[in-house]
Amino acid sequence: MELQVFTDTELADLERIQKNLTAKIPHILESIGAHIASSVDQNFQEGGRPLSWQPLAPATLKKKKGTKILIESGLLRDGIISWVEGNTLFIGPTGPATIYARIQDQGGETGIHHRTIIPARPYLLLQQEDQEYIHNFIRQEILEK
């Protein structure tokens, strides 16, 4: 067992580093949130990543104006935002899109008299490159003086 003793100078340095890091947390979270929101938008543009979403049913295609999956009015895609409250980062749908956001992401059944199965089309999904970006960004922000 080893006992470490810190000098007053080392403790002052640790306090300075802690204060500096605490002050950076909102900036770090906001930057990560903006990156993730952009990545989620790319999920919509590519029709799913890393795997493509299940194609639309023929009946759905007849009703839609276009052929893009989960992009009709743009409410869902455009409603994905990030925000920071305290030391917590939130990312998700806002506004009218919140009503149907979960079922579009995770899939499920809808309807009372006529059941409709909606396949899962995960759009709130971090990609491997997002995880690497977040890791590197945090490391860079912590190591900056």
Cis peptide before 96 (omega within 30 of 0): no
- 145 — pLDDT class (breaks 50, 70, 90): low
Q: Mean pLDDT across the stretch 73-98?
A: 91
Report helix angle 128-143 to 8-46, nearest 10: 150
Q: Is residue 1 part of a domain?
A: no
Q: Is residue 83 part of a domain?
A: yes
Q: Is residue 33 part of a domain?
A: yes
pLDDT at residue 12, as a whole number: 80
pTM for this predicted structure: 0.80
Task: Tell me the two tokens of residue 5.
Answer: 């003793």
> Alpha-carbon distance 118 to 60, whole Å?
11
* Residues of the domain holding 37: 8-143
> Alpha-carbon distance 42 to 40, whole Å?
5
Domain total in the chain: 1
pLDDT at residue 53, as a whole number: 96
Task: Tell me the two tokens of residue 145.
Answer: 């003086």
Q: Is residue 3 part of a domain?
A: no
Q: Is residue 68 part of a domain?
A: yes
Q: Is residue 2 part of a domain?
A: no
